[in-house]
Amino acid sequence: MPVHYHPLSREFHLCNGFISYVIHILPNGMPANLYCGGRVRDREDFSYLLQNRRRSLAVSQSTEENSYAQQYTCMEYPVFGTGDFRYPACTALQSDGSRVLELRYEKHNVYAGKPALQGLPATYTESDDEADTLELTLLDAQTGLRCVLLYSIFRDHAALARSVRFENAGKEPLVLERAMSLSLDLPDMNYEMITLSGAWSREREPFAAPLTPGVQGVYSLAGASSAEHNPFIMLKRPSTDEDHGEALGFSLVYSGNHMCVTVADTHGKARVLMGIHPDTFRWTLNPGESFQTPEAVMAYSAQGMGEMSRTFHRLYRSRLARGFWRDRERPLVINNWEATGAMFDQPQLLEIAHQAQTVGLELFVLDDGWFGHRDDDRQSLGDWYVPEGSLKLPQGLQGLAVRLKEIGLQFGLWIEPEMVNPDSEIYRQHPEWILCAPGRTPSPSRNQYVLDFARAEVVDYLFLALEKILGGSDIRYVKWDMNRYITECYSHALPPERQGEVYHRYILGVYALYDRLTAAFPRVLFESCASGGARFDPGMLYYAPQAWTSDNTDAMERLKIQYGTSYAYPLSAMSAHVSEAPNQQVGRMSALATRSHVAIFGVFGCEMNIGALTVEEKETLREQIALAKQYRELVRTGDFYRLQNPYCGSSCAWMVVSGDQSRALVGYYRLMVRANEPWLRVTLRGLNANLDYRVNAGEVYGGDLLMNAGLTVEPDQMTSNGADFSSILFELTAVAK
Ligand code: DGJ
């Protein structure tokens, strides 16, 4: 996967077995983009792709260079103020009040491997032959602002990781006002943009819209990547479907305020910009200082949206997620939240745990309500200890851990370190530790305030408090929650002119705490959570290999949420629990087996009072848990194919295939029954056409047949035959010839 440099044409060609990306240095030293797409052979000069024609109103930078203008060129990292009137990739306010920048080529460096990004999550390599990196350094000679564009191309993935490092090599301070992680100008705009948008309990629904001239996109100003708009966009050709056609995915490895937009111009070009949202960002860069942007990852597919997603899945589960749990089977948890809320006592917990153990679950997660005097969400957040004489946990966490061990379960714990209730010891001691604008009343949400993670002492305090908790009993799993968005984002530890840094410093503080805790407890499995899936993003995935996908545990709703989430994220990241019926979020009744058939395509767990199930239901659950154990490795590591879209009809289907194509698991779900309905059929993907597969320990069919004619689905074999919300799993095993 070389990075070719052609000095005569001043071109860089980054390529691997799947993709090519070509940058050209213009005569004035500014970089332009010539190509981003499927792999092409290298050549000395790609500059025939540069479109330069005199146009009215064109601005060029000198009279000798009037044949092209930035406005009409595909620029690589566009700036403001010298003739490109589209949204720029960066803006810097200078000490003389100017914002004009001229970033021109200064030098470049190519090396094997991929650098880590200081304090930020990022994809990584395990050996230097897994990626090559180009550092392309641009300089604004007048201010001394250096802008180092980082490109890492992976050997094994149709993906390119990008970020930017700004260095102030001048004599005056600068204020970065916009510092995009990625800018890409595409030569045409014949694309549809897909975004993953939603709200609490209906996160990451795919929305598609054709690009039209102007600005289109998604963003977050909530202080978290948000349930409303995930930091991901896809551009696909109008005819692209799951299996055919071009798709370009863009994913920001960041958990805070973001902006992911396209700017389509009136000459048919489309610019993609992705990075920290500039509206809430101002970063002072003193002489000698540098600023590193978050990473953005681009994936390209010529085989449809499905392959684009699988590229992200493979990359993110193997080279973004890290640590002990990355490549290990995840424990099947029982979480007490939907069974008890914050009101419980130890006998109740132990009964839930006991029941869970009898059906085969492995780890008990004690959710919210175990600390301070917490009986509901009005008190004690921030007081991370079990008080003496606690009625809920008389022997503390340690006592509970011991009892769970006796039952045969491991122990996991819920925390929400970023928040405090006004009614808490910690807030009474340190009211100055919350984010709060001077002279204004902080706005509560869920009765809580946000701690100022831009303050090192806050992060230090929490590390010590949580280190004590995690070190004090045998805790194997942590669910790190975050239950409100950020308002009044002002840090009393920073001067007025640095308040534009607080949102980003907050996220850096969160990452720092994650870093310290995961380093101190490398064997603890972390699951991220934010009122369900309000911070389900690649940044979190770097620290926590799985995330609570949504507070919505209804199976039919989960089909949609997990389907949308799979556009960018692997199944190994999606925590999915079987919960009670009627469902607590939507009141829907569905068969226990249907609920399990949805959860099995994620990190399977349960969140209910198993003791309240009938004998038959308990038996069903036991069987489904055994199945989940049998398939958890395949689901975690296999290739995922979306077969039928639940947003588009009355059915949903998907499947996961092992890397060697010897096993597959297919889920088929019927959302609504229909009278006198058509034949139900599902056409499979990803199998080996030359192999034969035994289906559900019965008939044998060729992989070619299954991928062309498909499987027939008999409604009377599905769960809850004749009712809505039924499902069937097909287990496929290759048979020896
Ligand atoms: C929101 C989470 O998404 C729930 O699963 C639960 O942990 C509650 N918070 C507890 O407050």
Instruction: Identify the helix (H) or strand (E) that includes residue 436.
Output: none
What is the reported pTM?
Answer: 0.98
Whole-number Cα distances in Å, 699 to 65, 105, 687: 71, 64, 16
Is residue 367 lining ligand 1, measured as CB closer than 6 Å? Answer: yes
* Ligand 1 centroid to residue 2 C-alpha, Å: 46
Residue nearest to atom 2 of ligand 1 (CA): 531
Instruction: Identify the helix (H) or strand (E) that includes residue 644.
Output: strand 639-644
Atom of ligand 1 nearest to the CA of 530: 3
> What would you measure as the largest C-alpha separation in the chain, in angstroms?
85
Is residue 414 lining ligand 1, measured as CB closer than 6 Å? Answer: yes
Taking the C-alpha atoms of residue 325 and residue 619, their distance in angstroms, rounded to an integer, is 30
User: Are residues 54 and 66 in contact, defined by beta-carbon separation less than 8 angstroms?
Assistant: yes
Count of other CB atoms within 10 angstroms of residue 403: 19
pLDDT of amino acid 111: 98
Is residue 416 lining ligand 1, measured as CB closer than 6 Å? Answer: no
Query: CB within 8 A of 593, min separation 6: which ones?
Result: 620, 624, 719, 720, 727
What is the DSSP secondary structure assignment for residue 201, as one 8-state letter?
T
Q: What is the pLDDT of residues 686-727, one digit of tens each?
A: 999 999 999 999 999 999 999 999 999 998 899 987 789 999
* Ligand 1 centroid to residue 199 C-alpha, Å: 15
* Ligand 1 centroid to residue 343 C-alpha, Å: 13
Mean pLDDT, the chain, whole residue set: 96
Residue nearest to atom 9 of ligand 1 (CA): 531
Q: What is the pLDDT of residues 336-385, one digit of tens each?
A: 999 999 999 999 999 999 999 999 999 999 999 999 999 999 999 999 99
State the burial class of residue 642 (Cβ atoms within 10 Å of its Cβ: 0-12, 13-18, 19+). buried
Given the structure tokens 């914002």, which residue do they identify? 99
Averaged pLDDT for residues 188-215: 98
Instruction: Identify the helix (H) or strand (E) that includes residue 25.
Output: strand 19-25
* Ligand 1 centroid to residue 481 C-alpha, Å: 7
Averaged pLDDT for residues 520-534: 98
Taking the C-alpha atoms of residue 626 and residue 629, their distance in angstroms, rounded to an integer, is 5
* Ligand 1 centroid to residue 380 C-alpha, Å: 15
* Ligand 1 centroid to residue 435 C-alpha, Å: 22
Q: What is the pLDDT of residues 440-454, one digit of tens each?
A: 999 999 999 999 999
Residues above pLDDT 90, as percent of the chain:
94
Averaged pLDDT for residues 175-202: 98
Alpha helices in 553-668 (DSSP H): 555-565, 592-599, 615-637
Encoded tokens for 208: 């598609």
Q: Of 350, 340, 355, 366, give the one whose Cα is nearest residue 404.
A: 350
Is residue 250 lining ligand 1, measured as CB closer than 6 Å? Answer: no
Active-site amino acid positions: 481, 551
pLDDT of amino acid 1: 62
What is the DSSP secondary structure assignment for residue 278, as one 8-state letter?
G
* Ligand 1 centroid to residue 498 C-alpha, Å: 33
Q: What is the pLDDT of residues 105-120, one digit of tens each?
A: 999 999 999 999 999 9
State the burial class of residue 671 (Cβ atoms within 10 Å of its Cβ: 0-12, 13-18, 19+). middle
Encoded tokens for 474: 């045998």
Is residue 255 lining ligand 1, measured as CB closer than 6 Å? Answer: no
Is residue 203 lining ligand 1, measured as CB closer than 6 Å? Answer: no
Is residue 548 lining ligand 1, measured as CB closer than 6 Å? Answer: yes
What is the torsion angle, in degrees rounded to the nearest 10, for the CA atoms of residue 545, residue 133, residue 224 and residue 335? 0
* Ligand 1 centroid to residue 467 C-alpha, Å: 22
Encoded tokens for 583: 């469902």
Taking the C-alpha atoms of residue 547 and residue 551, their distance in angstroms, rounded to an integer, is 11
What DSSP string runs through 475-530? EEEEEE---S---S---TTS-GGGGGGHHHHHHHHHHHHHHHHHHH-TTSEEEE-B
pLDDT above 60 (res 238): yes
pLDDT of amino acid 52: 76
Taking the C-alpha atoms of residue 462 and residue 419, their distance in angstroms, rounded to an integer, is 11
Is residue 531 lining ligand 1, measured as CB closer than 6 Å? Answer: yes
Query: CB within 8 A of 248, min separation 6: which ones?
Result: 36, 186, 191, 234, 235, 236, 298, 299, 300, 301, 308
Query: CB within 8 A of 693, min separation 6: which ones?
Result: 664, 687, 700, 701, 702, 703, 706, 732, 733, 734, 735
pLDDT of amino acid 721: 75
CA 516 to chain centre: 21
Banded pLDDT at 67 (limits 50, 70, 90)? low
pLDDT of amino acid 677: 85
Atom of ligand 1 nearest to the CA of 377: 11
* Ligand 1 centroid to residue 596 C-alpha, Å: 21
Encoded tokens for 488: 């009044």
Pocket test for ligand 1, best of 336, 414, 579 (most atoms within 8 A of CB): 414
Q: What is the pLDDT of residues 327-338, one digit of tens each?
A: 999 999 999 999
Averaged pLDDT for residues 274-297: 98
Is residue 481 lining ligand 1, measured as CB closer than 6 Å? Answer: yes
Banded pLDDT at 676 (limits 50, 70, 90)? confident
pLDDT above 80 (res 65): no
Taking the C-alpha atoms of residue 168 and residue 140, their distance in angstroms, rounded to an integer, is 10
Taking the C-alpha atoms of residue 395 and residue 278, their distance in angstroms, rounded to an integer, is 50
**4 beta partners:** 13
Averaged pLDDT for residues 593-622: 97
Taking the C-alpha atoms of residue 428 and residue 410, their distance in angstroms, rounded to an integer, is 35
pLDDT of amino acid 602: 98
Is residue 338 lining ligand 1, measured as CB closer than 6 Å? Answer: no
pLDDT of amino acid 273: 98
pLDDT of amino acid 60: 79
Is residue 533 lining ligand 1, measured as CB closer than 6 Å? Answer: no
Taking the C-alpha atoms of residue 645 and residue 648, their distance in angstroms, rounded to an integer, is 6
Query: CB within 8 A of 737, min separation 6: which ones?
Result: 692
Residue nearest to atom 1 of ligand 1 (CA): 531
Is residue 337 lining ligand 1, measured as CB closer than 6 Å? Answer: yes
Banded pLDDT at 64 (limits 50, 70, 90)? low
Encoded tokens for 69: 């203008």
Residues above pLDDT 70, as percent of the chain:
99
Answer positive or negative: Cα dihedral of 164, 39, 317, 647. Answer: positive
Is residue 226 lining ligand 1, measured as CB closer than 6 Å? Answer: no
* Ligand 1 centroid to residue 200 C-alpha, Å: 12
Residue nearest to atom 10 of ligand 1 (CA): 368
Pocket test for ligand 1, best of 413, 531, 561 (most atoms within 8 A of CB): 531
What is the DSSP secondary structure assignment for residue 469, as one 8-state letter?
H
Return the SS3 of 253: strand
Q: Of 413, 484, 416, 414, give the one whose Cα is nearest residue 200.
A: 484
Alpha helices in 273-391 (DSSP H): 304-319, 337-340, 346-359
Averaged pLDDT for residues 667-689: 93
Pocket test for ligand 1, best of 548, 553, 585, 606 (most atoms within 8 A of CB): 548
